[in-house]
Amino acid sequence: MLAADSAAAKPNERGRTAANTTEDDSDPAEPATDSAATDSAATDKSADVKWFTDYKRALKKAKQLKRPLLIEFAATWCVPCRIMEKKVWTDDAVQNALKKDVVPLRIDMDAKHAPPLIEKFKVEFVPTILIINDEEEELIREGFVNAEDFLKMVRKSSKKSSETLP
């Protein structure tokens, strides 16, 4: 999954490393085993959770795990997105929820694959945080949230998701 060379630990323009995004079908909650990823995780708490970047793979994993899919639409130029990255996604309780209650997917609004998803989910601003069920039905939609409000979102989506089960 990750290259063993030193480039794997270098952050991209969003300050993300290969350790906290994934394009494969592995469980995003599994800890990284690559030494570069482990080093990155030790210095960047947001690296604890692996975010999918591919919608189809994330949805497939959410269906396999019977969890809602959390989609964060963000951009490199979005100041509130950077604040969430530092203050919300690194919170211990949020980290736990991201690992155990949802499958996290991050969509960079400026990426080539983003426009169809932006249109599909009618995203008008960043950050936009969506939680959808395995039928791709929207359960919750929010903009910028703090850690406490994010955890409320997850609890509310779990309740809504369980209400739709047969």
Give the catalytic positions in this structure: 78, 81
Q: What does the alpha-carbon distance between residue 35 and residue 42 come to, in Å, rounded to a whole number? A: 11
Residue owning tokens 């497939």:
60
What lies within 8 Å, CB to CB, of 107 at 6+ separation is 53, 55, 71, 72, 73, 74, 113, 114, 117, 118
Q: What does the alpha-carbon distance between residue 71 and residue 68 come to, in Å, rounded to a whole number? A: 10
